[in-house]
Amino acid sequence: MPRPRTTRILRALALLAAALISLPAWANPEHPVPWQLNLTRGASGLSHDVWDLHMAVFWVCVGIGVVVYGALVFALFKFRKSKGAQPDTRLTHHTVLEVVWTTIPVLILIGLAYPASRLLVYENDTNGSQLTVKVTGIQWMWRYDYISYLGRPVDKVGFVSKLAEDSNVARQEDGGVSPWSVVSKHGVHDYLLDVTHPLVVPTHTKIQFLITAADVIHGFWVPALGWQADAIPGQIHDAWGKFDKPGTYRGQCAQLCGQDHAYMPIVIKAVPRAEFQQWLADQQSRTRIDRIARTAQVGAAAVPQG
């Protein structure tokens, strides 16, 4: 009598767990959501592959867990002294069983290692990138420099990206501003996930990131890209990513970098290619105007001194 009910409850629980865990809608690729349980699938084929690997190894663990915990719980109920269980003290060895439970894990691991290796090689191949951006971690901000786009060098486009002002006000102790009150114009609660100048990139473009640091180690992590990369002084770490949809993708410095480690978010704004083209052209002409202005100034300043 109790058996059908327990199986029904168990099945319901398993279904619920499966539904909760596999709901990709529960994660938004652009930013975290309340009560989020799982990794975002991210914004490109690359990050989808990472998500698939993550889910594959997760389900493998669930499967092994069901077998091992199942056996354990069974033993705990079945072989109790209080139920009159007599110990079988000769059961201390079973060669076949031991060979089986050593080889099956090896096979499972090979099954996981194969896709993981392929993905790893793919992920580390930055060939064929169309946009190259240099990312520099600095205590406590990021600097972005555009190096080249579609094979042509970019003329001095670069800027520093810091924690946005409203977050900065709200983060002060006893500042009287609630973190909950910090909201973007699209209604996203972006406390500590908003910056003064987002990194602007085109969609549908293989972007190469050259990541380094000026002072201490930082960590460049935007979950939608599908990876993070340490930013290390004296090293250039190259990695690539892509965005299939326009959006504002948020991440944070992942590597402890001192006092304000929690306050150097990363925001990448992916826009359609045409819009990016326009933005880049604007930036370049602004640099040129800046440069002309500066040379004029330097020239003017030089005269009285000379």
Partner 1 sequence: MSTHAATHDDAHHDDAPKGFVHRWLFATNHKDIGTMYLVFALVMFFVGGSMAMVIRAELFEPGLQLVQPYFFNELTTLHGLVMIFGAIMPALVGLANWQIPLMIGAPDMALPRMNNLSFWLLPFAFLLMLSTLFLPGGAVAGGWVMYPPLVLQSGESLAFTIFAIHLMGISSIMGSINIIATILNLRAPGVDLLKMPLFVWSWLITAFLLIAIMPVLAGAVTMLLTDKYFGTNFFNAAGGGDVLLYEHIFWFFGHPEVYVMILPAFGVISEVIPTFARKPLFGYKPMVYAIASIAFLSFIVWAHHMFTVGLPVGAQLFFMYATMLIAVPTGVKVFNWVATMWKGSITFETPMLFAVSFVILFTIGGFSGLMLGLVPADYQYHNSYFVVAHFHYVLVTGAAFGIMTGVYYWLPKWTGHMYSEKLGKWHFWLSVISVNVLFFPQHFLGLAGMPRRIPDYNVAFADWNMVSSIGGFVFGATQLLFVANIIYTVYFAKARAPARVWEGARGLEWELPSPPPHHSYSTPPEIRPGMLAHEDAH
**Residues 215 to 244 in contact with Cu ion, rule: CB under 5 A:** 218
Rule CB under 5 A: is residue 139 a binding residue for Cu ion? no
Query: Cβ neighbours of residue 218 under 8 Å, at least 6 residues apart?
Result: 137, 138, 142, 230, 231, 253, 254, 255, 257, 264
Q: How far is the CB of 124 from partner 1 (least distance, A)?
A: 5
Greatest CA separation for the chain: 104
Q: How far is the CB of 153 from partner 1 (least distance, A)?
A: 24
Write out the two tokens for 173: 């102790």
Distance CA 85, CA 76 (A): 11
Q: How far is the CB of 42 from partner 1 (least distance, A)?
A: 9
Write out the two tokens for 94: 């079973």
- Give the H or E element holding residue 135: strand 131-138
Query: Residues 145, 158: contact at Cβ < 8 Å?
Result: yes
Rule CB under 8 A: is residue 24 a binding residue for partner 1? no
Question: From the list partner 1, Cu ion, none, which binds 153 (C-beta under 5 to 8 Å, kind-based)?
Answer: none
Distance CA 110, CA 115 (A): 9
Rule CB under 8 A: is residue 107 a binding residue for partner 1? no
The count of chain residues that interact with Cu ion, using the rule CB under 5 A, is 4
Q: Which three-class secondary structure state does DSSP give residue 89?
A: coil
Other beta carbons within 10 angstroms of residue 40's beta carbon come to 22
Judged by CB under 8 A, the residue of 166, 205, 206, 216 near partner 1 is: 216
Span of 202-210, 240-248, 251-259, 277-285 interacting with Cu ion by CB under 5 A: 251-259
Rule CB under 8 A: is residue 279 a binding residue for partner 1? no
Q: How far is the CB of 218 from Cu ion (least distance, A)?
A: 5
Cis amide leading into 140 (omega within 30): yes
Write out the two tokens for 260: 């304000």
Q: How far is the CB of 192 from Cu ion (least distance, A)?
A: 12
Rule CB under 8 A: is residue 29 a binding residue for partner 1? no
Judged by CB under 5 A, the residue of 27, 193, 229, 257 near Cu ion is: 257
Nearest residue to 218 (alpha-carbon basis) of 232, 228, 238, 203: 232
Span of 58-66, 130-138, 268-276, 292-300 interacting with partner 1 by CB under 8 A: 58-66
Q: How far is the CB of 273 from partner 1 (least distance, A)?
A: 26
- Give the H or E element holding residue 145: strand 141-149
Query: Residues 154, 146: contact at Cβ < 8 Å?
Result: yes
Judged by CB under 8 A, the residue of 22, 24, 33, 284 near partner 1 is: 33
Distance CA 283, CA 144 (A): 13
Judged by CB under 8 A, the residue of 40, 44, 129, 203 near partner 1 is: 40
Q: What is the DSSP letter of 300?
A: H
Rule CB under 8 A: is residue 169 a binding residue for partner 1? no
Question: From the list partner 1, Cu ion, none, which binds 176 (C-beta under 5 to 8 Å, kind-based)?
Answer: none
Under rule CB under 8 A, which residues in 174-213 are in contact with partner 1?
178-180, 189-193, 211
Judged by CB under 8 A, the residue of 135, 251, 267, 280 near partner 1 is: 251
Write out the two tokens for 163: 């924690």
Residues in the site for Cu ion, rule: CB under 5 A?
218, 253, 257, 261
